[in-house]
Copies of this chain bind each other. A is one copy, B any other.
């Protein structure tokens, strides 16, 4: 296992990473990206403290619903980079079970990589979403053939890939880029049916970072995002060589979608789990601010909070149901139930805006107009600001900080990132509709309808 300090050193490996037009050579020391590195380093130290027999508590792959549930909780506490790493590992484990008949040659490579990666204690990010160019056209019919990552050269010892992967959370902070097809491929699209594990510092890899880290001089006004923020990577593969042992799919178009489906499932589980907690958090904020405003007893406020509670509970019910009905693949690794995971993720994302609307409605305009902490400290106006920010049972500073937190989480740069990624993580709402539909037992529903209506077996059809 790595220490936080070793992790920081590991980033000085020649990786080509950029931020707002400049190459970044010292990630730990960077003004806006450095705090994320530090957070990841602390995650390493946290894992060390929680090591079991010298192994990371995240090592191994759960083989029962109970283990899965424990892992979900653990991953949730262990920070973003552990989360994405775990999602990658589980995606590989699930994929291995699903491709074993059609593409058996990759199964051992995948399992070997999982063992090696857990032994090296590295962080792995999932590179799935391609640039896509004109989305009305398939990969093979784009004006620019590089719109989807593809093989542009083949050698006896490996392949050369070209293309870009977007929205890769923490790409610059990890060690490995798990690069997989974003969708199903068809005959003729063999070059696009490529899955590979690429080191972040491989020659030809370039990453452009964006971040929702706060820009204010005084980050005390950003109580949530100042503590935890992670850059998004725009990962470019500018003719990158991948050796054979790191290739997990290479032209088998029929299996291309398995990676995306497997990752989608785990991403949506992550999304569902995080939305279940996130919904409780919004309920908690709504109740706190209602109390601070002296409005917690108002009937229409209680109605809104009750509606938020019902939403939070329904999302959590889906999480419960998908864990209870987790299924094991052929190699024993369990994965959550597709139906409940997708329906839950959809519901959480679709209703997120209503949760935020209620919170804003309950909190009031001070969400975006509360004075800064520095204002509270100004000798001239600070005492007056504290006096007038005072609420029911809350002192002026507490109430001000509460508004800052609500703004930070729901009405500022980080809030925007949350709103968009709630929808987009694991694919937009349409993707989740399709997957839910695919896994719903429509034949049984039709049979029920025929029974109920007296048309079953009637030869009327």
A446 at the interface (CB under 8 A from B): yes
Q: Are B299 and A385 in contact (CB under 8 A)?
A: no
Instruction: Give every chain B residue within 8 A of A444 (Cβ-Cβ).
Output: 280, 284
Q: Are A288 and B20 in contact (CB under 8 A)?
A: no
Q: Which of A112-120, A231-239, A245-253 contacts B (4 or more CB under 8 A)?
A: A231-239
A6 at the interface (CB under 8 A from B): no
A372 at the interface (CB under 8 A from B): yes
Number of copies: 4
Partner of A392, one of B134, B164, B309, B384: B134
Q: Are B402 and A285 in contact (CB under 8 A)?
A: no
Counting chain B CB atoms within 10 Å of each CB, which of A129, A283, A365 scores highest?
A365
Q: Are B368 and A421 in contact (CB under 8 A)?
A: yes
Partner of A446, one of B167, B288, B387, B417: B288
Besides A135-B294, A300-B430, 9 other A-B contacts (C-beta < 8 A):
A21-B372, A163-B388, A206-B384, A215-B215, A283-B440, A284-B448, A310-B347, A394-B460, A398-B458
Interface residues on A, range: 35 or more
A103 at the interface (CB under 8 A from B): no
Q: Are A129 and B365 in contact (CB under 8 A)?
A: yes
Q: Are B144 and A387 in contact (CB under 8 A)?
A: yes
Q: Which of A81-89, A183-191, A404-412 contacts B (4 or more CB under 8 A)?
A: A404-412
A174 at the interface (CB under 8 A from B): no
Q: Are B461 and A18 in contact (CB under 8 A)?
A: no
Q: Are A299 and B297 in contact (CB under 8 A)?
A: no
A288 to chain B, nearest CB (A): 5
Q: Whole-angstrom distance between the alpha carbons of A283 and B393 in the complex?
A: 39
Q: Whole-angstrom distance between the alpha carbons of A410 and B454 in the complex?
A: 16
A268 at the interface (CB under 8 A from B): no
* Closest Cβ neighbor of A401 among chain B residues: B455
* Closest Cβ neighbor of A392 among chain B residues: B134
A10 to chain B, nearest CB (A): 23
Asked whether A428 and B364 contact (CB < 8 A) given A318-B317, A344-B314, A388-B164, the answer is yes
